[in-house]
């Protein structure tokens, strides 16, 4: 299954991982309802599902509290959730206090999550939907050797970029 196909059903989880997925998402849902919002909770479920789909799922070992904290931290890292000018925002001390894990442990797990899923600010699959349109990084593509903003290209090129999974959608004209 290609990455694009997995993203069409981002919450698909193998049956053998369903119990772990439910426990993990219960932890992230609880955190998001207290400190963040539903959009963060949805992204946390998407990340948890992606980790469950790994051939040898890394979340089968280790503490689920640590994995949940790492998932939340990774979302905040990618989506600038630690920036107080953003709403909602949080700091790593709050994540640490909630999950009862050291900040260094959470940061390390967050890095592992981001590496496993190849998460970065350039990849629209891991950005919160509300942040996609304002993220210039998502829309920059290489066309004939030039870096261009896909939002300024003809519609047929935008549609092809969407089909290839390069940009998230064709923006409104």
- Same domain for 63 and 148, yes or no, is no
- Same domain for 156 and 112, yes or no, is no
- Same domain for 8 and 77, yes or no, is yes
- Same domain for 70 and 33, yes or no, is yes
Domain-embedded: residue 168: no
Selected residue with higher pLDDT from 138 and 64: 64
Is residue 134 very low, low, confident or very high in pLDDT (cuts 50, 70, 90)? Answer: confident
- Same domain for 19 and 85, yes or no, is yes
Pair 71, 44: CB distance under 8 Å: yes
Share above pLDDT 90 across residues of the chain, in percent, rounded to a whole number = 69
pLDDT at 50 over 50: yes
pLDDT at position 90:
95
Residue 143 φ/ψ, nearest 5 degrees: -130, 115
Q: DSSP label at 168?
A: S
- Same domain for 138 and 111, yes or no, is no
What is the spatial distance between Cα 124 and Cα 166, in angstroms, rounded to a whole number?
A: 8
Over the stretch 53-93, which tens digit does the pLDDT of each residue have?
A: 998 999 998 899 999 999 999 999 999 999 999 899 999 99
pLDDT at 28 over 80: yes
How far, rounded to the nearest angstrom, does the alpha carbon of residue 56 sit from its chain's CA centroid? 20
What is the spatial distance between Cα 1 and Cα 4, in angstroms, rounded to a whole number?
A: 8
Terminal C-alpha separation, the chain: 33
As for how many domains the chain has, the answer is 2
Q: Which domain holds residue 144?
A: 133-163
**Sign of torsion, CA 38 44 49 50?**
positive
- Same domain for 57 and 138, yes or no, is no
- Same domain for 32 and 111, yes or no, is yes
- Same domain for 27 and 76, yes or no, is yes
Q: Token pair for residue 53?
A: 């789909």
* Number of Cα atoms under 13 Å in the Cβ half of residue 43: 28
- Same domain for 17 and 51, yes or no, is yes
- Same domain for 112 and 151, yes or no, is no
Q: Quick one: 97 exposed, middle or buried, by C-beta within 10 A (0-12, 13-18, 19+)?
A: exposed
Over the stretch 101-125, which tens digit does the pLDDT of each residue have?
A: 999 999 999 999 999 999 988 888 8
pLDDT at position 124:
85
């Amino acid at each position: 299954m290609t990455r694009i196909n997995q993203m069409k059903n981002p919450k698909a989880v193998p049956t053998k991982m369903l119990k772990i997925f439910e426990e993990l998402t219960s932890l992230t849902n609880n955190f998001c309802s207290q400190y963040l919002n539903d959009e963060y909770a949805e992204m946390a479920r998407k990340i948890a599902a992606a980790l469950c789909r790994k051939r040898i799922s890394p979340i089968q070992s280790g503490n689920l509290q640590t994995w949940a904290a790492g998932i939340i931290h990774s979302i905040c890292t990618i989506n600038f959730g630690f920036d107080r000018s953003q709403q909602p925002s949080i700091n790593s001390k709050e994540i640490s206090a909630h999950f009862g894990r050291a900040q260094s442990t959470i940061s390390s797990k967050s890095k592992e999550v981001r590496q496993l899923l190849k998460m970065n600010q350039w990849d629209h699959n891991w950005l919160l939907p509300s942040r996609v349109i304002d993220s210039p990084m998502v829309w920059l593509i290489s066309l004939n050797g030039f870096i261009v903003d896909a939002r300024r290209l003809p519609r047929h090129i935008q549609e092809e970029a969407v089909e290839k999974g390069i940009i998230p959608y064709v923006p409104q004209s």
